[in-house]
Amino acid sequence: MIIILEPSITDHSEEYQQTFNYLSQLPGIATRVHKIQGAQQTLTEIYLIGDTKSLSADDIHALPGVERVIRISEEYRILGRHRDKQRTSGFEYNGIQFSQDNLNIFAGLCAVDTPEHVKTMLQALHEHGQTCTRMGAYKPRTNPYSFQGHGQACLPYVFELAGQYGIKVIAMEVTHEDHIEEIHKCLEQTGQPTGVMLQIGTRNTQNFELLKAVGRQQEFPVLFKRGFGITLNESLNAAEYLASEGNSRVIFCLRGVKTNMSDPHRNLVDFSQVPVIKRLTRMPVCIDPSHSVGSREHSPDGILDLMHATAQGIISGANMVLVDFHPEPAKALVDGPQAMLMSELDWFLKDVALTRECYQKRQKLAQQQRTA
Ligand code: PEP
Ligand code: MN
């Protein structure tokens, strides 16, 4: 059971103390307080864990300072929606809003290779009014002899260049908890020129110790990728590890699933699940067409498969797109064959805007149908 307190209630208020004391002495029930930091105010939710079936929701609703009571019907206690349309979704980070209602594009390098390529990428994004990017410093590779990413050595120039080009948020994968501290330190040393969203890659979806470490810190939000070979439910449960440790600023990313049924694509595109995740949870949903499709092939209509896949996700309401670009894909050290070209950025963004507009029109049409 989740008890949502009125927005004006703080830990020090009389109502909070009374309600919390009452709940704490319920036999066989543990309480856990969860704070949701919104743009204007902090919302307090109290979770009752244990056998809550015998509790009366009406009695609890009548306690001081209680706004609403929700019976949890499904898993993903904190991140879940629990059939409650009013539950807030999303968060703000470094001036950028992330929610189930808007769209952010994270175009950038799969892996940082040279400062020149980083600069070219960020400059192009800036020229197109973009404020977010992706930049891989720590790369999980199949082959131990492949390039593993420049790691912390590249962070100073990546962050400084990001600041110079007005980039507010960089999605950056971490593969070990030490990387969080490295990123934190480097941001501090460079004077916080930008922000970082910690990415959990598909190979680490169920690396529970890493998830706990990323969940324990509150500084950075998290981009969490679904596992490539597990069910959606298993991935959503894994995402809940982040929230259960205290960090519920989580975006869930679809990136395709591994099966040779996807041939000739790298993974089977799973973007039809965008609305499913929005229904089951409060997380904004990201799509990663690059790691799903994995190539620059195009169909007779002249549109790249990557862009068709992107459109499929956006037309279903995706809230974020993570996409690989590279100034010289032939020289890219990771995933060159799936990188879009700088000359295609303008086209890509226009196609995205067109598809988003179409989604918004579909949303209106659905509203008209429901109110008719
Ligand atoms: C990536 O985004 O660079 C990446 C490695 O993706 P995934 O974890 O989805 O394979
Ligand atoms: Mn990659």
Place of tokens 């593969």: 175
Each domain of the chain, given as residue ranges in start order, spans: 2-71, 92-371
CA of 91 to the centre of ligand 1 (A): 23
Residue 162, pLDDT above cutoff 80 = yes
Predicted confidence (pLDDT) per residue in 25-55, tens digit: 999 899 988 887 766 778 899 999 888 888 9
CA of 215 to the centre of ligand 1 (A): 19
DSSP assignment of 147-181, as one string? Answer: ----GGGGHHHHHHHHHHTT--EEEEE-SSTHHHH
The reply to whether domains 2-71 and 92-371 share a CATH topology is no
Fold classification of 2-71 is: Alpha-Beta Plaits (3.30.70)
The answer to whether 91 and 249 have CB atoms below 8 angstroms apart is yes
pTM above 0.85, yes or no: yes
What's the number of CA atoms in the CB half-sphere (13 Å) around residue 236?
23
pLDDT tens column, 72-110: 866 888 999 888 877 778 999 999 999 999 999 999 999
Residues in the chain, total:
372
Closest CA to 224 of 279, 171, 169, 157: 171
Instruction: Pick the atom of ligand 1 nearest to 199's CA.
Output: 2
pLDDT of residue 228: 97
DSSP element (H, E) containing 240: helix 232-244
Can you tell me whether residue 196 is helix, strand or coil?
Answer: strand
Are the C-beta atoms of residues 202 and 235 closer than 8 Å to each other?
no
pLDDT tens-digit profile of 305-353?
A: 999 999 999 999 999 999 999 999 999 999 999 999 999 999 999 999 9
Is residue 265 over pLDDT 70?
A: yes
Q: Is 184 exposed, middle or buried (0-12, 13-18, 19+ CB in 10 A)?
A: middle
CA of 189 to the centre of ligand 1 (A): 28
Q: Looking at the CA of 337, which ligand is closest?
A: 2
Ligand 1 neighbours, Cβ below 6 Å, are 110, 136, 173, 201-202, 225, 255, 288, 291
Superfamily (CATH) of domain 92-371: Aldolase class I (3.20.20.70)
